[in-house]
């Protein structure tokens, strides 16, 4: 019975620490500024990144002809 109590206490301590960490993170997030501009810029950068990735992938798969000069 003693080892079961030990394991129970360790699991409870771990759970309590997880809850405290989540609360601290949410408090930090509450203090961050919520600007629409930053969300818009992040969204546009994400779209640009996706477009660039598609073009690079297209370039990667296009046949390239290497000409050797003799």
Phi then psi dihedrals of residue 9, to 5 deg: -65, -40
The model's pTM is 0.43
- Per-residue burial over 40-70, b if 16 or more Cβ lie within 10 Å, else e, is eeeeeeeeeeeeeeeeeeeeeeeeeeeeeee
pLDDT digits (tens, 9 = 90+) for 22-62: 999 998 888 877 676 677 888 889 999 999 988 888 877 76
Confidence at residue 64, expressed as pLDDT on a 0 to 100 scale: 57
Torsion-angle region of 33 (φ positive above 0: left; ψ -120 to 50: alpha; else: beta): beta
Residue 18 has pLDDT above 80, yes or no: yes
Where do the structural domains in the chain lie, given as residue ranges?
A: 2-49
Q: Mean pLDDT over residues 10-28, rounded?
A: 92
Whole-angstrom distance between the N-terminal and C-terminal Cα of the chain?
85
Confidence at residue 11, expressed as pLDDT on a 0 to 100 scale: 92
């Amino acid at each position: 019975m003693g080892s079961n109590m030990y394991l129970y206490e360790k699991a409870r301590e771990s759970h309590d620490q997880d809850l405290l960490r989540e609360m601290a993170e949410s408090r930090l997030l509450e203090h961050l500024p919520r600007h629409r501009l930053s969300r818009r810029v992040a969204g546009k950068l994400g779209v640009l990144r996706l477009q660039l990735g598609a073009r690079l992938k297209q370039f990667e798969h296009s046949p390239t002809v290497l000409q050797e000069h003799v």
